[in-house]
Amino acid sequence: MTRLAFDRLGAGEPLVLVHGLGSARTTWAPLLPELARRYDVVAVDLPGHGDSPPLPRTEPATPHRLARQVAALLDDLGVVRPHLMGNSLGGWVVLELAADGRAGSVTALAPAGLWARPSMRRNPVVQTNWRVARAAARVSPALLRSSAVRRAAFASASALPGEIPYPVALDAALAQATAPGFLSALDGTLGIHFDRADAVPADVPVTIVWGDRDHVLPAPSHQDRALVPGHSRWVVLGHCGHVPQWDAPGATLRLLDRTTAEGRAATR
């Protein structure tokens, strides 16, 4: 197993955070102070992202394979059935973990894998963002100080790109530019979708959260409600893009707390 990088902070029930494709655990910075006040937070870097080494080339980086890597880390930490929150690819990963019986609750923010018709072509928005981030990596620290540049650079990911704090924007840009596992994880999603909804236990609360201005995984083509567990809560946030933890941190926290409370009640 690949040894994953992670941060652990706070106290309370365990909560595992899983970032999206081309991102890193730093994406959760806007939420971490509040989360650490009431959860034992484990923010992880997926293989080939952030500070985690990539998977061997012989191992396809499918979402289920990535979920197994996260599960191995949880085993090492002695964390059993934590609450899970993931964004984009991370949302797919936490659904896979739930299907494997590893979740106390699931909050999936704009999860990938809910397209009714799997494609063998790379998502053009995602691939373009990656190419731009790589090309601009050397000048990003200077350019991203401008809110106008942030508006342009993050227009596909955020409904409020100019309001993304500079440190968050810079971390996101550099994480994408330097992720050696980006293409393998992107290709690991091709030709498949999340198809294990029936394996998610009915007593594990699941909340699926979308932004009404998601340009990365837009409705309806990438948001098929039939692919999630039948007991899932389906929420659409207004004035929100593909990264709810940036655009709607307060609403995201409230939905997380509601979902974890339901998970807590289910175990009593």
β-strands 39-44, 6-10 pairing: antiparallel
Q: Is residue 114 part of a domain?
A: yes
Assess if residue 40 is contained within a domain. Answer: yes
Residue 182: domain span: 6-266
Residue 183 lies in a domain: yes
1 within a domain of the structure (yes/no): no
- Structural domain contains residue 70: yes
The tens digit of pLDDT for each residue in 178-215 reads 999 999 999 999 999 999 999 999 999 999 999 999 99
Dist CA 44 CA 24 (whole Å): 8
State yes or no: pLDDT of 1 exceeds 70: no
- Residue 66's CATH number: 3.40.50.1820
pLDDT digits (tens, 9 = 90+) for 71-86: 999 999 999 999 999 9
Residue 162 lies in a domain: yes
- In the chain, the amino acid numbered 213 is R
Cα 88 to Cα 24, 58, 130, 222: the distances in Å are 12, 24, 15, 11
Is 146 domain-assigned? yes
* pLDDT band of 7, cuts 50, 70, 90: very high
Domains: count for the chain: 1
Give pLDDT tens digits for 218-234. 999 999 999 999 999 99
159, part of any domain:
yes
